[in-house]
Chain A
């Protein structure tokens, strides 16, 4: 009986929390723009490939390196493929890499952070030292090192970028878990005899969801940037895959006379990353009461 009541009141509280967040998000114009853009990109990734008339992969030298026109909206590449079509097909790859690599990073980083923050002591030291080791590799370098040994493919990029994303999650989650675990009501629930697992799942986790979501949104932006960099270096998605970084890598040889081959894939990356950054910024403002004032 007591358990049911506890869960019910939590559900109500949570619903009102989400309402509040939604209200705050609605007031934040930039976050809304970011959110709608992301939604639009997801729709494009799903529906877009069905609507394009050109083939993203078929080589046709009779149409190579054409400037943008009414038939080829953004021009064609060195293999005569329509760049607009390739960008549309590449959208799902970009989003897939972004979401999945952050999911991988979160699935490992979040439990690490919770264990570290909740149990503290030796476990905390060990986990945080491991995180420090991952953070000792500057920026994109760890991902480069991992992909260089694993081999260049989209799945290996996801693994590499996922591992690169672990420390961000672990650190944020550790900090918030520590703060939440010290709250009085956690103390009270523990005194009532709740197990650690129950406390973590029912009481700690709901309280740290918002920083995790904010972190994930910003991380997706970083993941997309890094993945495109890996493909640009020839270490990620391989041609003829219409991945945007790989398109830039191939297009750079032709861009002096035909700038459109390098301009548009880059703009596509910027737009998607920008959308996630806008949304992430807005979410942080809406979810973090400190910055609200």
Chain B
């Protein structure tokens, strides 16, 4: 197991290198002169040159990348070109909001998804199953930002139950978390259902029933426990959806997180800040996937040993 963890850990190193290379290249993918675009189209040549110098764009590419990596290792993501602060200082007060939002969304989608999936599997081909699966199909065919807008209209404007924007109180968290978690819940529900159906047809479930165990016991103790393993893999993909979904959810609900910062930075053509945010998002996601892979392996192994 330890060996697996170490190997898996080393496997992420080339991925992280590749990610930094891609993020570094972003600024060079800008059609035209990135310094001109960041300085403003009407900026005089002197300003553009100063911007170029400031971003080190005059050096050859490989020198730029080595410098970028050197700074990165020291935890320096560069300077914002719009504010006087560093990229790290810009991100720091926002990052926990986004992570919290993503985690709450994840919790909601796991709870909702598991309940719906198990109920569907137990009542398979019934009306409840059909309606739950139809709801799930809608759930992941829906753009989350539109769901957010509709929730604001219904819950905040028409019913005046919950605040339409902001972040801080638990009431403010409800709508963004529902917005973010619904798509994930739908996917987990479908995955849980099909995984449960696979498990229910296994011999050991029949044995458990034949032993005279209560149906509830059979479903939850023997069925769900084993059905959960494949579900763990979607949780990793889910987390990616949720993390990046925060960009849209934060925009809809005016939450001052990292996602909204990204959009503001893009609008202000503050590319060093955009690069920093994209990199942080990717690193978080790589970390999440590492944990998911290790726990999947752990769960699988335990089953094998049993």
Contacts and interface: CB of A to CB of B under 8 A. Distances in A.
Interface of A: 129-130, 132-133, 136-141, 144-146, 148-151, 221, 225, 228-229, 232-235, 245, 248, 252, 255-256, 259, 262-263, 265-266, 269-270, 273-274, 277-278
B243 A228 contact: no
B241 interface: yes
B153 A262 contact: yes
Contacts of A140: 244-245, 247-248
Contacts of B244: 137-141, 144
Contacts of B248: 140, 229, 232-233
A27 B247 CA distance: 41
B145 A232 contact: yes
Top 5 A-B pairs, shortest CB-CB distance: A133-B18, A139-B244, A138-B240, A266-B146, A274-B141
B149 A252 contact: yes
B18 A232 contact: no
A277 B138 CA distance: 10
Given A133-B18, A139-B241, 4 more contacts: A136-B285, A141-B243, A229-B145, A266-B142
Interface in B271-298: 271, 274, 278, 281-282, 284-286, 289
Nearest to B32: A151
Contacts of A146: 26, 29
Contacts of B50: none
B91 interface: no
Contact of B15 (A132, A225, A262): A132
B22 interface: yes
22 contacts: A132-B15, A136-B18, A136-B282, A137-B22, A137-B282, A137-B285, A138-B242, A139-B242, A141-B247, A150-B31, A151-B31, A221-B141, A233-B251, A233-B263, A235-B266, A255-B149, A262-B149, A266-B143, A269-B146, A273-B143, A274-B138, A277-B140
B247 A136 contact: no
B141 A141 contact: no
A159 B288 CA distance: 27
B247 A270 contact: no
B267 interface: yes
Contacts of A225: 141, 143
Given A139-B241, A255-B149, A266-B150, A273 B141 contact: yes
Nearest to A265: B146
B69 interface: no
A136 B146 contact: no
A214 B132 CA distance: 24
Interface in B239-267: 239-245, 247-248, 251-252, 262-263, 266-267
Contacts of B137: 274, 277-278
A136 B283 CA distance: 8
Given A137-B281, A139-B244, A232-B248, A148 B266 contact: yes
B19 interface: yes
B171 to A, nearest CB: 19
Contact of A270 (B141, B267, B286, B289): B141
B5 to A, nearest CB: 18
A133 B267 contact: no
Contacts of A263: 150
A100 to B, nearest CB: 19
A225 B22 CA distance: 24
Main secondary structure of the interface of A (DSSP, over half): helix
Interface in B134-161: 137-138, 140-146, 149-150, 153, 157
Nearest to A259: B153
Contacts of A144: 244, 247, 262, 266, 278
A260 B144 CA distance: 18
Given A139-B240, A277-B137, A277-B140, A129 B14 contact: yes
Q: B26, B146, B241, B284 — which one has the most chain A CB atoms within 10 A of its CB? A: B146
B177 to A, nearest CB: 17
Given A225-B143, A269-B146, A133 B19 contact: yes
Given A144-B244, A229-B143, A232-B248, A256 B157 contact: yes
A149 B22 CA distance: 12
Contacts of A265: 146
Contact of A149 (B30, B262, B263, B267): B30
Nearest to A235: B266
A269 B18 CA distance: 34
Contacts of A229: 143-145, 248
B27 interface: yes
A180 B123 CA distance: 38
Nearest to A278: B137
Given A139-B241, A145-B278, A133 B266 contact: no
Interface in B24-41: 26-27, 29-31
Contacts of B278: 137, 141, 144-145
Which of A139, A151, A221 is the most central at the interface, judged by chain B CB atoms within 10 Å of its CB?
A: A139
B18 A130 contact: yes
A281 to B, nearest CB: 8
Given A146-B29, A148-B266, A149-B30, A137 B19 contact: yes
Contact of B143 (A149, A232, A255, A256): A232
A138 B14 CA distance: 17
B210 to A, nearest CB: 24
